Amino acid sequence: MKRKSLMAYILIGLGFYFLLKELDIPYLDHFHTWHSIVIIVGLIMVIHSLMNKDVEFLFVGIIVLGVGIHLLASSILANWPDHWAVYLFIFGFASLVKALKTKQHLFISIVIVVLSIIILVPMSIPALQWLNTYEMIWPIALILIGIYLLKK
């Protein structure tokens, strides 16, 4: 029953998307892309999972929503960071929300979010760009975190 309602909500959301596209409302032309469809599906998954207290759909929904927002923002905004650390942040944020709901893996989720912020912030602030000279450290840190998770 839950999966049927999820599919129904996704179809309703897609119907609204295509209706708004056909109405050709001014100022919404930036949103007539497939990125918006990804955002709609992610948002519906998040809302559906919150209504049904389904943590796994919440995790996946946040990732889908975050990727959709990132793709849409990178196509519209010239200064939006197009770096792999954005995906790391999305994953870390989704795992942090899941950790807060399940009370498991909170520390590693915080580490992933902080690590992604440490990577992304120097790209935006010119005075901190010297931190990006250590670009080789971050992949190694990710490998070590992954090994830690496997051993735990």
- For residues 65 and 88, state if they share a domain: no
Pick the last residue of a domain from 77, 110, 143: 77
Q: Tally the domains of the chain.
A: 2
Per residue in 70-91, pLDDT tens?
999 998 888 888 888 899 999 9
Question: Is the pLDDT reported for residue 116 higher than 70?
Answer: yes
- For residues 119 and 67, state if they share a domain: no
- For residues 27 and 91, state if they share a domain: no
- Rounded Cα distance between 78 and 6, Å, is 34
Per-residue confidence (pLDDT) for residue 140, from 0 to 100:
74
- For residues 24 and 39, state if they share a domain: yes
Global confidence as pTM: 0.77
DSSP string, 32-90: -SHHHHHHHHHHHHHHHHHHHT-HHHHHHHHHHHHHHHHHHHHHH-TTS--SHHHHHHH
Choice between 53 and 46, residue whose per-residue pLDDT is larger: 46
Give yes or no for a contact between 105 and 99, defined as CB atoms under 8 angstroms apart.
Answer: yes
- Rounded Cα distance between 6 and 61, Å, is 11
- For residues 87 and 70, state if they share a domain: no
- For residues 28 and 90, state if they share a domain: no
Give yes or no for a contact between 2 and 54, defined as CB atoms under 8 angstroms apart.
Answer: yes
Pick the last residue of a domain from 48, 77, 106: 77
Q: What angle do CA 30, 63, 29 make, to 5 degrees?
A: 5
What tokens were used for 103? 């009370």
Per-residue confidence (pLDDT) for residue 130, from 0 to 100:
60
- For residues 8 and 31, state if they share a domain: yes
- For residues 100 and 57, state if they share a domain: no
Pick the last residue of a domain from 52, 77, 102: 77
Residue range of the domain that includes 19: 1-77
- For residues 104 and 137, state if they share a domain: yes
- For residues 25 and 95, state if they share a domain: no
- For residues 70 and 86, state if they share a domain: no
